């Protein structure tokens, strides 16, 4: 087995991978495309992440590829259709990051509604001595709409139940849960005080949250996105926030990461995070361990542990 690593993960992971298997880091090549054109036939396994992915062009330069082991739950940046067509196994790292992503999603709900980050800036700037801080909004007892009721969405719902929130959700199809299913995303947004996105990225959900959905959520509504930046029409989001037609937003993901629209940085009712929903020591260690478990399964000619 010879592994091609598309992009760097933690220093400890990179070192362990290099100590365990023959591996070539693609990001160290001066011309990655030229390198793959010349050397791509040597690699039968790829290690990547939801950030770096594996494009159709890269697939075409890896004729011997048999397995892709990805760090992260999302796989929209991997050409899964090409993998299936060629019989290439693909794995991700589900479940182990569910709780941390759900924790952060609900943390953003509280942060934006109660204006925690804004209040922190207020104190640090010495403005408390000049007067009191404006009121926030209650979280408990409100209405929470969840877009994408998979593992993470259900974990968010469980946390919301502890705050006595009324819960409804929008999915491709109803799930076997007690929460109310809403087939219309616009209707869900109109009903909700908080709309949390935990759905997959990719073509099927591109700009799912449109200007119409944001208008329905309204000037008191709060949008939280821990899914993918592509799920939201970012231009429409900026327009709704700057125009006062949306109450606030908590965003962990963006359309063109790490670039963030400058307009969002100026808004006090927006909390901006650098895609850190799964970024805890414990969860990242479990994710890395799962990548190695999938590699070990492939190396032993066994099925991948967590195939997509």
Residue 239: the pLDDT is 98
pLDDT tens string 267-299:
999 999 999 999 999 999 999 999 999 999 999
For the whole model, what pTM was predicted?
0.92
pLDDT tens string 68-110:
999 999 899 999 999 999 999 999 999 999 999 999 999 999 9
Q: Kindly give the interhelix angle for 98-114 and 281-299, rounded to the nearest 10 degrees.
A: 150
Domain 98-272 maps to which CATH number in 3.40.50.720, 3.40.50.300, 3.40.50.1370, 3.40.50.11310? 3.40.50.720
The domain locations on the chain are 3-96+281-299, 98-272
Fold type of domain 3-96+281-299: Rossmann fold (3.40.50)
Residue 185: the pLDDT is 98
pLDDT tens string 171-188:
999 999 999 999 999 999
Catalytic residues: 228, 257, 275
Q: Would you say the CATH fold of 98-272 matches that of 3-96+281-299?
A: yes
What are all long-range contacts of 276-279, with beta carbons under 8 Å and residues at least 24 apart? 276/104, 276/252, 277/97, 277/100, 277/101, 277/104, 277/105, 277/226, 277/252, 278/72, 278/73, 278/97, 278/100, 278/101, 279/100
pLDDT tens string 100-154:
999 999 999 999 999 999 999 999 999 999 999 999 999 999 999 999 999 999 9
């Amino acid at each position: 087995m010879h592994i091609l690593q598309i992009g760097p993960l933690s220093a400890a992971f990179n070192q362990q991978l290099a100590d365990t298997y023959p591996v070539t880091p693609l990001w160290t090549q001066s011309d990655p495309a030229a390198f793959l054109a010349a050397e791509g036939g040597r690699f039968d396994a790829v290690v990547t992440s939801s950030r770096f992915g594996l494009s159709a062009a890269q697939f075409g330069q890896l004729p011997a590829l048999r397995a892709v082991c990805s760090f992260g739950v999302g796989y929209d940046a991997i050409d899964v259709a090409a993998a299936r067509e060629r019989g290439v196994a693909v794995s991700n790292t589900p479940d182990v990051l569910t709780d941390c992503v759900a924790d952060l999603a609900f943390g953003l709900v509280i942060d934006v509604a109660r204006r925690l980050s804004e209040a922190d800036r207020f104190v640090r700037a010495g403005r408390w001595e000049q007067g009191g801080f404006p009121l926030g909004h209650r979280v408990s007892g409100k209405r929470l709409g969840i877009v994408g009721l998979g593992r993470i969405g259900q974990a968010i719902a469980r946390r919301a139940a502890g705050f006595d929130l009324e819960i409804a959700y929008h999915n491709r199809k109803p799930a076997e849960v007690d929460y109310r299913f809403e087939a219309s995303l616009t209707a869900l947004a109109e009903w909700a005080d908080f709309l949390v996105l935990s759905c997959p990225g990719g073509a099927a959900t591109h700009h799912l949250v449109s200007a119409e959905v944001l208008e329905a959520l309204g000037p008191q509504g709060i949008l939280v996105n821990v899914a993918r930046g592509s799920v939201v029409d970012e231009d429409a989001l900026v327009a709704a926030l700057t125009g006062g037609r949306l109450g606030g937003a908590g965003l962990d993901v963006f359309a063109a990461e790490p670039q963030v629209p400058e307009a969002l940085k100026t808004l006090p009712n927006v909390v901006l995070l650098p895609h850190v929903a799964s970024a805890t020591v414990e969860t990242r260690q479990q994710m890395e361990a799962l990548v190695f478990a999938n590699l070990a399964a492939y190396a032993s000619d066994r099925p991948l542990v967590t195939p997509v």
